[in-house]
Every structure is written in C-alpha cells, then in structure tokens.
Amino acid sequence: MATIRVTVNGERYEEVAVEPRLLLSDFLRDTLGLTGTHVGCEHGVCGACTVLLDGDSIRSCLTLAVQADGCEIVTVEGLGTPDALNGLQTAFREHHGLQCGFCTPGMLMTGEDLLRTYPLASDEEIREGLSGNLCRCTGYQNIVAAVRSAAAQRREKAAS
C-alpha cells in the first residue's frame, strides 16, 4: 500500500492508504464516495470520468490514485450545488444539454477546462474541444449550445 495526500473540491485528505493499482476514478468513487465522477469505458475513450487535476482536465481512469499525491482535484461535485449551480451547469440546464446524464459530469469538467484556456469563438472550436466526450443520447447539439452560451457569458463578464 502507498499513502497519498490530496485536496479534492477544497477538502484536504491526509494520509489516505491506496493500492498502487487503484485508478483515480475508483479512488474518487469508492474511497471518497464522490460518485458524481462516472466510469464508462475505463480505457480513455468515452470521457465520462474527466476531472480537473491541478486545473487541467484529465481522464481519471487513465491516472493512478497514487500519481495524484500532493495534487488538487476538482470533480463535478466541486462545481456547484443543486441549489447553486455554476454558470456552465446552469447553461446545460437552460439548453437541455443533458438527457440521461451519464456523460454530463465529463462534459462539464471538459467544458470548464475549455472555457478557461480556449477562446471558443466558433462552434467548430467547441466541437473540437468536446470531441473526446461521448454522449449516447446524441445530445451534442444542445451540449454545444450550452458551452457556447457559457463561453459568451464569461466573455461578457470579463469585458464588464
């Protein structure tokens, strides 16, 4: 067993014992009980397990928990609460950017990373940015619309 220290959604976890082979996705869900992070394909194709690691979107199924030692993680639980959704979450709700909701945590975490680092001026840029996240309800149109709306709102906020 290894011991790691991580901060998840602002909460510090000290001296947590993990088996080296434990995936970060399973650590979040099973060890910490944060089941908002979904596990789909477990080989990096579907994007459902995407979280932020030190601010960058990553596949938590392609990262070992032991590698996150000393890192700061944000999961979908860290974005907003049911009573106080963040801007991107609100945009998903307003634009019907989800149907069954399985892909949604990964879409949101990828979207957060995209909003911070890419201009997302065109739908093509948004689609390219979301290309690593699969939605089997084929809700891409509304997901793109939600991200477009959130991007416009952040630009307005930055300009004002």
Partner 1 sequence: MKPAPFDYVAPSTVEAAIEALVAANGEGKILAGGQSLVPLLNFRMVRPAVLIDINRIEGLSFIELRGDKIAIGALTRHRALERSQLIAEKLPVMKAAMRHVAHVAIRNRGTIGGSLSHADPAAELPMLALFYGATIVAQGASGRRHIAAEDFFVDALTTCLAPEEIVVEIEFPLLAHDGWGFEEMSRRFGDFALACIAVAIRRGGDVLDDLRVAAMGVGDTPLRLRMVEDQLRGAAIDGSMPERLAQLVSASVSPNSDVHASADYRRHLAGVLAKRALTTALAAKA
- DSSP-derived pairing of the beta strands 11-18 and 56-59: unpaired
Nearest distance in Å: CB 106, partner 1: 9
Both structure tokens of 35: 């089941």
- For partner 1, which is the closer residue by CB, 91 or 114? 114
Nearer to partner 1, 94 or 113 (CB): 113
Phi, psi dihedrals of residue 37, rounded to the nearest 5°: -75, 120
Amino acid at 85: L
Q: Convert residues 123-142 into a mask of x (bound to partner 1 by CB under 8 A) and - (unbound).
A: ----xxx-xxx---------
- Residue 59 and residue 61: Cα distance in Å, rounded? 5
Q: How far is the CB of 107 from partner 1 (least distance, A)?
A: 11
Choose the binding region for partner 1 from 13-21, 81-89, 139-147, 149-157 (rule: CB under 8 A).
13-21
Q: 98 in helix, strand or coil? A: coil
Here the tokens at position 80 are: 């907003």
Selected from 6, 8, 9, 26, the binder of partner 1 by CB under 8 A is 26
Report the C-alpha gap between 108 and 78 in whole angstroms: 11
Closer to partner 1 at the Cβ: 45 or 93? 45
- Among positions 60-119, residues that touch partner 1 (CB under 8 A) are 61-64, 66-67, 110, 113-114, 117
